């Protein structure tokens, strides 16, 4: 069974409702003959959309929804946080870099305007009111420079071999691992504390040994990163702040 977070067009009718986090969410059940498992999505309007396999039962689908009430509540909170988060980042906006908050500041060096985030900076062609695109470009550049070597270091520590590391801008996941040994990481990991960043990397590396989220997989994560639960707590508390 899968559950995902995303926005799409609302349905015109619902098959029922589920209470999660003190809010009633409409539930829409749809059967897909190509689906192999139950899939749950929370849409932008608060609707819970459930895809059923061809031979899946509605009773099982409802049990699946009810077992995910806590997840639905968390994702709704994230969605609301996104709605109130500023889209534009003027000078003075506070963002995270390597786990520490820094205000975006404008400076000059030899007459050239600079955008600074803590100890890091990027040159500006001209001063603009919305610094978000430039700030995110700087963060991504730092991630592309720092994340791949760290993946290699942790892979060597765990006696694992990887084929490639890419840094991308995923909107709903921190990373992924293919059966071919290709690791993909979200550039926003550069905003996390080093220990949390390493947990995400180790999580993906452990998929080279177990390509699922079974108890055996979490046992491997526990062995590689005993503090992973604390790191998960940090991620959940700060995901909206990182734009996820």
- CA–CA gap between residue 189 and residue 22 (Å, rounded): 32
Closest CA to 241 of 120, 109, 77: 77
So where are the chain's domains? 2-84, 148-242
pLDDT for the residue numbered 3: 41
**Contact present, 143 and 161 (Cβ < 8 Å):** no
Over residues 2-12, the mean pLDDT reads 39
Region of poorest pLDDT, from 2-16, 96-110, 133-147: 2-16
pLDDT digits 0-9 by tens, 122-167: 888 777 888 899 999 999 999 999 999 999 999 999 999 999 999 9
pLDDT for the residue numbered 199: 97
The CATH number of domain 148-242 is 3.40.50.300: no
Partners of residue 186 on adjacent β-strands? 168
Tokens of 224: 């590689």
pLDDT for the residue numbered 25: 85
pLDDT digits 0-9 by tens, 36-85: 899 998 887 788 899 999 888 999 999 999 999 999 988 888 777 665 55
Instruction: Give the confidence band of 2 by pLDDT, cuts at 50, 70, 90.
Output: very low
How does the average pLDDT of the chain come out, rounded?
86
pLDDT at 86 over 80: no
Helix axes 69-84 and 58-67, enclosed angle (nearest 10)? 60
**Contact present, 196 and 235 (Cβ < 8 Å):** yes
Instruction: Give the confidence band of 99 by pLDDT, cuts at 50, 70, 90.
Output: very high
- CA–CA gap between residue 146 and residue 45 (Å, rounded): 38
């Amino acid at each position: 069974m899968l559950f995902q977070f995303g926005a799409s067009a609302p349905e015109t009718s619902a098959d029922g409702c589920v209470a999660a986090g003190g809010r009633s969410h409409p539930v829409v059940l749809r059967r897909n003959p190509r689906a192999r498992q139950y899939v749950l999505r929370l849409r932008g309007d608060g609707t819970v959309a459930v895809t059923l396999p061809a031979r899946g039962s509605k009773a099982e689908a409802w049990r699946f929804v009810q077992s995910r009430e806590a997840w639905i509540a968390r994702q709704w909170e994230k969605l609301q946080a996104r709605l109130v988060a500023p889209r534009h980042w003027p000078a003075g906006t506070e963002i995270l870099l390597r786990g520490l908050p820094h205000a975006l500041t404008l400076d000059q060096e030899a007459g050239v305007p600079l955008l600074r985030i803590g100890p890091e900076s990027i040159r500006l062609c001209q001063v603009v009111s919305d610094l978000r695109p430039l700030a995110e470009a700087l963060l991504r550049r730092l991630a592309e420079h720092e994340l791949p070597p760290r993946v290699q270091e942790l892979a060597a520590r765990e006696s694992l071999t990887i084929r490639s590391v890419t840094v991308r801008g995923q909107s709903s996941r921190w990373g992924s691992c293919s059966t071919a040994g290709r690791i993909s990481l979200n550039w926003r990991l550069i905003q996390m504390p080093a220990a949390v960043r390493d947990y995400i990397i180790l999580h993906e590396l452990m998929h080279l040994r177990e390509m699922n989220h079974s108890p055996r997989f979490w046992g491997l994560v526990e062995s590689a990163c005993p503090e992973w639960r604390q790191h998960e707590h940090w991620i959940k508390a700060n995901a909206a702040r990182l734009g996820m």
